Amino acid sequence: MVLCTEPFVVTARNIARVLGLPDYPFLKLKHPIGSCTLPELKERAEVAYEQALPILLED
């Protein structure tokens, strides 16, 4: 599972396209992550979880 913060979404899409995977799913999270408090990280993890479930459960 690829996690990407908002400023890097365009880069992630371009890399996926160049690698031949234009529809590659990845999780988009608020930036930054490195300086987050534990409650902020928990909030981002909950968002990531909600985005990840449909991707992981896809047939």
Extract the tokens encoding 15: 């890399």
Q: Is the pLDDT of residue 39 over 70?
A: yes
Structural domain of residue 39, as residue ranges? 3-56
Number of domains the chain contains: 1
Does 1 or 9 have the greater pLDDT score? 9
CB distance 57 to 1 below 8 Å:
no
pLDDT, tens digit, 9 for 90 and up, residues 8-30:
999 999 999 999 999 999 999 99
pLDDT at 42 > cutoff 90: yes
pLDDT tops 80 at residue 53: yes
Paired sense of beta strands 27-29 and 3-5, if any = parallel
**Is the model's pLDDT at 59 over the cut of 70?**
no
pTM of the model: 0.82
